[in-house]
Amino acid sequence: MTRLSVNINKIATLRNARGGNNPNVVQVAVDCEKFGAEGITVHPRPDERHITRKDVYDLKKIVTTEFNIEGYPDDRYMEIVLDVRPTQATLVPDPPDTLTSNAGWDTLAKASLLKEVIAELKKHGMRVSIFVDPDEKMVEGAAECGADRVELYTEPYASNFHKDREKAVGNYIKAAEKAKSLGLGLNAGHDLDLHNLHFLIAKIPYIDEVSIGHALICDALYYGLENTIQMYKRKLKI
């Protein structure tokens, strides 16, 4: 069954809007795990507009499931992950001023950088996932760079889901099959929600993990965090 990793960036955004420690990011992570999440994801951006460096170190002490740290592999990110050593490092191509992830890596053009970074992370025992568009060539490039997994960028799927769900998922199936044939693990994330998640999993049942934050936290405002996590987990069942 596909695992659910809850991205708690939005919890930190809410906290930072007021200052102080309410909501408590660490406590929310503990609760997410207690309520059934199989992983915790964070993306500590350089401007610390949501997750801070301190949050990452505090979370490392308490996360008992899989800890996934996303980010662009600049000096700051590498310093954090090499010190914290999460279960998984997910490399994204976002420049520092990007609001949210909006494209996957060009794993061919950036092969030299990615090979060097991946080798260093794996040397320290981390699983490495590369954020890619649903493009078979980009998946092949990720494998050649030494990645353990690819994370398919699902915003285009989510945007087109209500127009033509079969068409929206088509390239994802092809990219997933390519990843599987190359021995790569498979993650997915971005704009997945209670409406589009089950269809994706039904079409690609061997996705290892989905990372969901924004939609899940929004749903939790209406349904409550515990109930929302269980609702998402039910969507992951085939």
Catalytic residue from among 33, 66, 70, 151: 70
Contacts of 78 (CB under 8 A, 6+ apart): 117, 120
- Cα 218 versus chain centre, distance: 17
Amino acid at 236: L
Residues 105-111: contacts with CB under 8 Å, at least 24 apart: 105/130, 105/131, 105/132, 105/138, 105/141, 105/142, 106/138, 106/141, 107/132, 107/138, 107/139, 107/140, 107/141, 107/142, 107/144, 107/145, 108/137, 108/138, 108/141, 111/141, 111/144, 111/145
Our answer to whether residue 190 is catalytic in this structure is yes
b or e along 58-77 (b: 16 or more beta carbons within 10 Å of the residue's beta carbon)? ebeeebebbbbbbbbbeeeb
Tell which residue, 139, 212, 145, 224, has the closest CA to residue 180.
139
**Active-site option among 33, 43, 66, 209:** 43
Catalytic annotation present for 70:
yes
d(Cα 156, Cα 171) in Å, to the nearest integer? Answer: 10
| Residue for token pair 């795990």 | 33
Do 59 and 43 touch, CB atoms closer than 8 A? no
Catalytic sites, residue numbers: 43, 70, 190
